[in-house]
Amino acid sequence: MAGKTAGLEDLSVAYVTEPVAAADWLIVAPVALCLLVGSVLLMLRKDTRLQPLIAIPALMVLSAMTLGLLWHVLANGTVTMTMGRWLPPFGISFTVDPLSAFFAATSSLVALAAGVYGRSDIDHSGRRYGFYPFLLLIMAGVIGAFLTGDVFNLYVWFEVLLISSFGLLVLGSERGQLDGGVKYAFLNLVATTLFLIATGYLYGLFGTLNMADIAVKASELRGTAPLMTLVTLFLLAFAMKAAAFPVNFWLPASYHTPRLVVSALFAGLLTKVGIYALLRVLGMLFPIEREELSFIIAIAAALTMVLGVMGALAQNDIRRALGFLVVSGIGVMMAGLALGSPAGFSGAIFYAAHSMVVMTALYFAIGIGVSLGGNFRLSEAGGLYARNAMLAFVTLMLFLSVSGLPPFSGFWPKVMLVKASLDIGAWWLAAAILVTGLLTTITVGRIWALAYWRPAGEGAASAAAGSAPGSAAGSAPAGAIAALFGLVALSVAAGVWPEPVLVLSQDAARGLIDPSAYVLSVFPGEAAQ
């Protein structure tokens, strides 16, 4: 931008003049597709038969786009597209590095599974309430948040996904949903407001909202500006979104109330957007401040994982236990953020992708179990192994994966994080991860023993109609089974053959620790100067 003394008629001072390369359109295509199909579905809200027929192919196209984007980024490095063709930092940039592309691809596969599962889980009245439009719009928010390179734009995508999540949460307006929805809505509103305050201060200090520009200017401003205050505000806001202790209580209060597929989607995606924002803002933009805060983050991480899993141990309702396990997993990712080393970041990234897939699949498995005649209440559940041994086996694999046992996908990131903590002498953090793994194994082992292995009829009140063996047991719909098996296949593949995911996570972590590729992609001119 500097160095040119052209007249007003020379548009190259203000605009990107060369045409956008065809493959670069992939940067905005996922978000545009979600918004477009979401609004079409909104117009077809009353045609409940047509909705999944449009939404599921659209989610397939979305997955193809984000996988294509991931391939494009891995082949060509970080790519940028600036809206309105303004030269950055004046336009809003979408900058896609391996981290963004990896999370976007994983989340769209999870959304596809949710769309397929929702076909059987959401009846016609639920579709009229707008399940599929909200699903597409929430994906616009999630993927927009992953791909954007602008802090205020990140705030806007947070709001897009938040307002869609409100709609999904109260789908059906039952008593429990309204109760959980009130708590979810207020606490998330406070979190995004904190984020907005921090964004306002950020602009006041930096005079720019472009992430690449901030990464460059942070080192110049470090001596004079109160960056520590700013980063602490960001940490609080994003930790609240990610449900880290002590600001996690909205999650277990609400995640068990909506339709099962909605719980599954939220557990898979929403908290991970908070983790992504933490990694991006604290990890990439303000590494020095993150280092100073790392002890606080580590304590919060250890408490989040241990208290989360202890909450799960105390629950009689399987869905509530899973909600607490989501919180516990957030603690493991926060531990990676606290470590800040390449191994720590890549462990957190790997664990976040694993958690997106596995937590969603766990909710699916529990939901299919209940549709087979099981029960959400542990005291009354039983007999699922006798009904469907295959489902019981697949659920056991997921349980072992979430507790981090080999050969499933939860094992490798935990190994990386434990090793990274021991490397810097933080034995207590490593111990917290291992104790959490043990307690998680006890929690899920008990769920499996009681709900799957125990013969039906031994539970407290299973004489009640509906859980009588054989008679009322429905059969699980094929679509739901396919969605579950698809996600389990991803988890097993990443566990047995972790090399590609490991390399990808390490690539993504490198991009966070050394943002020069990110900056260069936004400001190609800087290299020449």
Judged by the rule CB under 8 A, the positions of this chain that interact with other proteins are 2, 152, 156, 159, 163, 166, 170, 173, 175-183, 185-186, 189-190, 193, 196-197, 199-201, 203-204, 207, 252-254, 256-257, 313-317, 378-379, 446, 449-450, 454, 460
Q: Looking at 147-235, which runs of residues are DSSP E strands?
A: none
| Residue 202, token pair as written in the block | 């950020």
**Coil vs helix vs strand at 405:** coil
**Closer residue to other proteins, CB minimum distance, 186 or 393:** 186
Q: What is the rounded distance in angstroms from the CA atom of residue 444 to the CA atom of residue 102?
A: 28
Which residues lie closer than 8 Å to 133 by C-beta, 6 or more apart?
38, 39, 41, 42, 45
Distances, alpha carbon 109 to alpha carbons 59, 88, 242, 433, in Å: 8, 31, 21, 28
Q: Looking at 68-167, which runs of residues are DSSP E strands?
A: 79-82, 93-96
On whether the CB atoms of residues 302 and 325 are closer than 8 A, the answer is no
Q: What is the rounded distance in angstroms from the CA atom of residue 402 to the CA atom of residue 437?
A: 8
**Closer residue to other proteins, CB minimum distance, 192 or 341:** 192
Min separation Cβ 218 and other proteins, Å: 17
- The CB density around residue 324, as the number of other CB atoms within 10 Å, is 25
Min separation Cβ 259 and other proteins, Å: 14
**Closer residue to other proteins, CB minimum distance, 71 or 201:** 201
Min separation Cβ 296 and other proteins, Å: 22
**Closer residue to other proteins, CB minimum distance, 172 or 331:** 172
**Closer residue to other proteins, CB minimum distance, 198 or 339:** 198
**Closer residue to other proteins, CB minimum distance, 135 or 151:** 151
Min separation Cβ 446 and other proteins, Å: 7
Min separation Cβ 379 and other proteins, Å: 5
**Matching residue, tokens 């739901």:** 480
Instruction: Categorise residue 337: left if φ over 0, alpha if ψ from -120 to 50, beta otherwise.
Output: alpha
**Closer residue to other proteins, CB minimum distance, 185 or 483:** 185
Torsion of CA 48, 53, 55, 56, to 10 degrees: 130
Min separation Cβ 197 and other proteins, Å: 5
On whether the CB atoms of residues 367 and 360 are closer than 8 A, the answer is no
**Matching residue, tokens 């942070």:** 218
Min separation Cβ 263 and other proteins, Å: 12
On whether the CB atoms of residues 283 and 512 are closer than 8 A, the answer is yes
**Closer residue to other proteins, CB minimum distance, 6 or 478:** 6
Min separation Cβ 445 and other proteins, Å: 10
